[in-house]
Amino acid sequence: MRILFKCAVKLLSPKKLRQLQYASFRARLVLKEVLRMNNALIIYFSRTGNTEKVALAIRKGLERGGLKVTIKRVEEAIEEDLYDYDLVCLGSPVLHSLPPPPVLKFIRKNDRRYRDAREVYVPSPKMVNKNALVFCTYSGPHCGIHEALPAGKYIRQFFEHLGFDVKGEWYEVGEFHGWEQGSTKGMLGDIRGRPNVEDLALVELKAIQLA
pLDDT in tens, 80-135: 999 999 999 999 999 999 999 999 999 999 999 999 998 898 988 888 899 999 99
**Mean confidence (pLDDT) of the chain:** 90
Amino acid present at 206: K
More confident residue, 27 or 159: 159
Report the percent of the chain where pLDDT is more than 70: 83
Mean pLDDT, residues 69-81: 97
Report the percent of the chain where pLDDT is more than 90: 77
Q: H-type helices in 24-168, by residue range? A: 25-34, 50-64, 101-116, 149-161
Burial class (CB in 10 A: 0-12, 13-18, 19+), 34: middle
Given its phi and psi angles, is residue 63 left (phi above 0), alpha (psi -120 to 50 degrees) or beta? Answer: alpha
Mean pLDDT, residues 68-73: 99
